Amino acid sequence: MSSHPPNYEHIDDQMIKMEVNLDNIPGEWLGYVMDLLFEAGANDVFYTPIYMKKNRPGILLQLLCSVEKVNKIKEILFKETTTLGVRYYPLTVHRLERVFKKAETEWGPVTVKEGILNGEVVQRAPEYEECKKLAQLHNIPLKKVYEQVWKEIDI
* pLDDT over 50 at 2, yes or no: no
At 104, the pLDDT band (50, 70, 90 cuts) reads very high
pLDDT digits (tens, 9 = 90+) for 31-63: 999 999 999 999 999 999 999 999 999 999 999
Q: Global pTM?
A: 0.72
Query: All domains of the chain, ordered by start, with CATH?
Result: 11-94 (3.30.70.1380), 96-153 (3.10.20.300)
pLDDT of residue 35: 97
Q: What is the rounded distance in angstroms from the CA atom of residue 76 to the CA atom of residue 32?
A: 11
pLDDT digits (tens, 9 = 90+) for 79-94: 999 999 999 999 988 8
Question: What is the DSSP secondary-structure string of 79-134?
Answer: HHSS-S--EEEEEEEEE-EEEEEEEEETTEEEEEEEEEETTEEEEEEE-HHHHHHH
